[in-house]
Amino acid sequence: MNTQARQYWILGTVVVAGLALGAACQTGGQTAPGAAAPADLASRTYVPVGEWDKYYAFLSGGQSGAVYVYGLPSGRYIRSIPVYEPRAGYGYANVPGTETYEMLAASGPMWGDTHHPILSESGGDYDGKHLWINDKANSRIARIDLRTFETKAIARIPNLQATHGIAVVSPDTSYIVANGEFQAEIPQGRLDTDSYGAVMAFLDPMTLEPRFEVLMPGNCDINDSSKDGRWAFTTIYNLENAVTVEGMIQREEDAIGAVDIHAAEAALERGEFREINGVKVIDPTETTEKVLYVIPVPKNPHGCDVTPDGKYVLGAGKLSPTVTVIDISKIDQVENPRDAIAGQPDVGLGPLHTTFDGRGNAYTSLFVDSQIVKWNIEKAIAGDPTYVIDRVDVHYNVGHTQATLAETMHPTGEYLLALNKLSKDQYLPVGPTMPEAQELIDITGEKMTLLSSFPAEPEPHDAVFMLAEDLSPKVVQTEELTADAVPEDGSRVERVGPDEVHVYMTAIRSKYGLNDFTVKEGDKVTITLTNIETIRDMSHGFAVEGYGINLALDPGQTRKVTFVADKPGTHWYYCTWFCSALHLEMRGRMLVEERG
Ligand code: RUQ
Ligand code: CUA
Ligand code: CA
């Protein structure tokens, strides 16, 4: 750690210590782990062999660039969905020349930093169609099709640096809102520190292209939308517009920004925008109708969460021990924006994110206190001193927390996941880099019960859940044949030019459509491969020795790869997915003739 970094760390400690002294922290509940016996707890997360979990959990894979799928309550890891990573097999072959590789490479680097998975909604409930995930490091967003669990689109968002909070605009996914966390030049592309700004981008959910962007008075951190499609909210922690950590904590208050989407759409119609990098950018200081409302919130707020009934938006204080409750119906009714604040309960130290059970209770993660605090929203607004209902210790330093279906209008209020940043002593040590801890909490009762813990790769970020009964019937088992599929009798080699060859092949247990094919050294070879299996879970692979090629094909799927056959000789290709007793024999030869 260099001296400067050490100073920042010390500064962070000072800020937190100051809060600890100043915090009049309500402790209405007591710190008590579940009193139940371990065997009872275990039975509450046990899923017998052959049975399914009740919930899918989609977790952001942090710097791995993936989305992880777990089952809840068991905590069983089911699979990972490659998004911003060139993984061989499903999703991406890590060689140029495959569609999926090209999709990733066209949008930026071959890695990403994922934070926030969000699910598509219809009528305010999850419809099981799409999942989006941000890439903070490269200002991107991606869409995953939940029928196949495959990444279908990735785009870099113009005029924005560090895509952080993303949210679906409820109730019908009219936009995806993406936040720019870092202030930088707008337009980007030349050094001009005077023109720093940040935008909230309103994207087309399918193409991910911005339909418009709104210039914000500070940076944009975490966001959410109202349940009626009208408002997009963001926390702003750098209203100072500073470029150093010291500068970013100067003010006692930052803000929640509320963008009136209808007013923004009206501004677009009136032509009240500037076109920057091909995007319509609205400057809210120049519109006829008021587009942006700025509500003061203490201090460097983080989480931004709308209650399931759509009445309130909550800003978690981070450097203030409070959560600010804003009455959404008052935002455009009051002269003084502070009058839209319905309450500001103390909850504990380092509040980061809040989630809901649909029964009027909020659950806020406390990073510094390493706790989840359960509190009643209406009681807190009414000033009833018993608003804190319970606290449970988590291990340790919890960031996001999410309850089952809490982002919809109908949370199930059954489980809550605490996604902890540090596990310290919780698991077998595996070197200085420790896994992080995810803890499952039962929230069906008045008191919370900590049920179980399961590790995550550093670092676990956010999670969203779907009921298995809502999603599993929509997941396809075999892909539909596409127009470019190779038919059963269609395996062949076509020379299309003096140095260009197209190879078409099928794969079915336990044979490729061609036992061998011959090309010339230096030929550009395009292989089109179709898995013509029609039964579920019969995947085949296709790796070519020495060429760095590995495709994975689901039943019915067609994949292509283009490469230059620059190494003469015999190169076996073989199946990389164990598919039958003759799996090892499922292979063939690419014969590369020397050019004489
Ligand atoms: S942030 S720990 Cu990237 Cu989600 Cu709050
Ligand atoms: Cu096909 Cu192994
Ligand atoms: Ca600040």
Q: Ligand 1 pocket test: pick from 59, 115, 304 the residue with the most ligand atoms within 8 Å of its Cβ.
A: 115
pLDDT (0 to 100) of residue 26? 37
Residues near ligand 3 ion, CB 5 Å cutoff: 248, 254, 300
Residue 337's CB is within 10 A of a number of other CB atoms, namely 17
pTM: 0.93
Protein residue with least CA distance to atom 2, ligand 1? 399
pLDDT (0 to 100) of residue 596? 76
Q: Where are the domains of the chain?
A: 492-593
pLDDT (0 to 100) of residue 548? 84
Query: What is the mean pLDDT of each successive set of 10 residues along the chain, which is 596 residues long?
Result: 45 45 36 65 96 97 93 95 78 65 87 96 98 98 96 95 98 98 93 94 98 98 98 98 97 98 98 97 98 97 98 98 98 98 98 98 98 98 98 97 98 98 93 92 98 87 97 95 97 98 97 98 96 95 91 92 94 96 97 92
> Which amino acid appears at position 361 of this protein?
N
pLDDT (0 to 100) of residue 88? 64
Please state the atom number of ligand 2 nearest to the C-alpha of residue 510: 1
Per-residue burial over 73-102, b = 16 or more CB atoms within 10 Å of its CB, e = otherwise: bbbeeeebbbbbbbbbbbbbbbbebbebbe
pLDDT (0 to 100) of residue 257? 98
pLDDT (0 to 100) of residue 103? 86
Q: For residue 474, report the distance from its CA to the centre of ligand 2, in Å.
A: 26
Q: Give 480's DSSP letter.
A: P
Please state the atom number of ligand 2 nearest to the C-alpha of residue 578: 2
Protein residue with least CA distance to atom 1, ligand 2? 540
pLDDT (0 to 100) of residue 14? 42
> CA 370 to CA 349: how far, in whole Å?
9
Sequence-distant (6+) residues with CB within 8 A of 495 are 501
Please state the atom number of ligand 2 nearest to the C-alpha of residue 539: 1
> CA 434 to CA 425: how far, in whole Å?
9
H-helix segments, 340-389: 377-382
pLDDT (0 to 100) of residue 90? 53
What class, spelled out in words, does domain 492-593 have in CATH? mainly beta
Judged by its nearest atom, the ligand closest to the C-alpha of residue 573 is 2
Taking alpha carbons only, the member of 203, 200, 176, 309 closest to residue 256 is 200
pLDDT (0 to 100) of residue 94? 55
